[in-house]
Structure 1
Amino acid sequence: MVRNVIGSILALVGAAAAVWSPFRAWYDGRHGRDYRIADLFSGISGTKADLWISILLPFAFAALVTLVGLLLRSRLLVVLAGLIVLGFTILWMIRQGQAAGSLSVESDGSGLGPGVALAAGGGVLLLLAAVLMSGRRRAHEHDLDEVGPGHTWGRGHGRRRRGRGEPERHEEPYAGPGQPYEQRPYADDTRTAEYPRYDDRPGEPGPGPAGPDRPGPPHRG
């Protein structure tokens, strides 16, 4: 639970950083929203892009994938969002490096800007969040409970919790011959009734199938 909370917070921070990054300077004072998505594949140009065909679009899509992943508690979707952010950031750096000849960080702001750092940091936070998240528990794990009062063994899914309204069974250990039938373990459980039951009285046969060497119980009129 704690891991999911921490992972969710990191994922939200990472997604917010990625969406905010195109509104900051990326290179030589030029904002990320001014780069067209097509420039990442054909080469950086001086053409200013509209907002929704700029590099903001894949980052907004990654933020949407992050929200869906957090709602579904899916680590895979959060990882996918982080890879989208990092992938487009690295692709932009490659294209910008080809256009400028080299990438550098200058004190006068003529090199790489804070927008690139926000995008890269957001992608790393998304991947880190996916590692911290525990994800969804598998369906059969919800059926496993601690052994305690009111719990019985189920079939197929480990332990089964006693249902609402079902009386609690307190099983007494078998004390030996002479113990009343109703107090024996699983006396009312048909799963163990493979053979007829007999009273364990001295001189009478115990539980087992009747036969020539093991007669049945005496007739009681």
Structure 2
Amino acid sequence: MIRNVLGSVLALAGAAAAVLSPFRDWYDGRLGRHYRIEELFTGITAGRPGPLGSILLAFLFAALLTVVGVVLRSRLLVAAAGVVVLGFTVLWMVRQGQALGSLAVAGDGSGLRWGVAEAAAGGVLLLVGAAVMSGRRPARGTHDQPYKAPGSENPDTWPPTQEPGPSVQTSTLPEPEPELYTGPDPAAHHPDEGPDADGRPRR
């Protein structure tokens, strides 16, 4: 929480510095908002564009990214804003150096001025703020909780007493009773029955 607050303060300060820098002198008494955005890609000229056609527009876009990144606690958006500010500042220095042959810093008011330094400092503050921020942490929900062991909901029945393996189902139907034999006992012996010694049946 503290890191997010500190990083947000640094990022907002950097965005404010970047937005204010085009209203200051950049080189030899010329304001930063007097440079066209397309001049950073085609070459520096002496023309003066309107506010929305100058380098101020790029810095306003970076400030918008910063505000959204701070609200969403997105380090990526804040870092992207810092890259935009530093990128346009360095690109301007390259084009200005190509137009004049060199860049110089003079004490009489000519050469590089405080506007460029303020823009560069704003970009650095944005990158530092993105590095300090801890970002948004994922919400702790049910997916973040460890899985419970099977049967741990009812510890009285754990561990199971049944051995692993296929279960054998037994029939609960009653077994059929054997039929009773009501005839004569085949094991009983009657001496009057059967053939006699000569093989003739007895009467």
Provide TM-score, normalisation by structure 2: 0.73
Question: What's the CA shift for 1:195?
Answer: 6.6
Q: Distance in 2 between matches of 1:54 and 1:75?
A: 27
Question: What's the CA shift for 1:194?
Answer: 4.6
Q: Distance in 2 between matches of 1:192 and 1:37?
A: 75
Q: Are 1:45 and 2:45 matched, yes or no? A: yes
Q: Distance in 2 between matches of 1:195 and 1:158?
A: 23
Q: Distance in 2 between matches of 1:83 and 1:156?
A: 36
Which residue in 2 is equivalent to 1:89?
Answer: 89
Which residue in 2 is equivalent to 1:158?
Answer: 145
Q: Which amino acid aligns with 1:47?
A: G
In structure 1, the gaps of 5 or more residues are 144-154, 161-187, 197-207, 211-221
Larger RCO, structures 1/2 (Cα 8 Å, 6+ apart): 2
Number of residue pairs the alignment of both structures matches = 160
Question: What's the CA shift for 1:109?
Answer: 1.0
Q: Which amino acid aligns with 2:30?
A: R
SS at 1:26 equivalent: strand
CA 1:31–1:195: 2 relative to 1, 3 Å: closer
Question: What's the CA shift for 1:159?
Answer: 6.3
The correspondence for 2:157, drawn from 169, 193, 196, is 193
Q: Are 1:67 and 2:67 matched, yes or no? A: yes
Question: What's the CA shift for 1:64?
Answer: 0.1
Which residue in 1 is equivalent to 2:128?
Answer: 128
SS at 2:110 equivalent: coil
Q: Distance in 2 between matches of 1:84 and 1:136?
A: 23
Which residue in 1 is equivalent to 2:116?
Answer: 116
Q: Distance in 1 between matches of 2:122 and 2:128?
A: 10
Q: Which amino acid aligns with 1:38?
A: E
Which residue in 1 is equivalent to 2:54?
Answer: 54
Which residue in 2 is equivalent to 1:30?
Answer: 30
Question: What's the CA shift for 1:123?
Answer: 0.2
SS at 1:6 equivalent: helix
Provide TM-score, normalisation by structure 1: 0.67
SS at 2:10 equivalent: helix
Q: Distance in 2 between matches of 1:110 and 1:159?
A: 66
CA 1:193–1:54: 2 relative to 1, 3 Å: same
Which residue in 2 is equivalent to 1:17?
Answer: 17
Q: Check whether the contact 1:12–1:66 (CA below 8 A) recurs between aligned residues.
A: yes
Q: Deviations over 1:49-101 (max 9, x none)?
A: 11100000000000000000001100000000000000000000000000111
Aligned Cα root-mean-square deviation (Å) = 2.3
CA 1:190–1:35: 2 relative to 1, 3 Å: same
Q: Among the aligned pairs, what percent are the same residue?
A: 60
Q: Distance in 1 between matches of 2:58 and 2:79?
A: 15
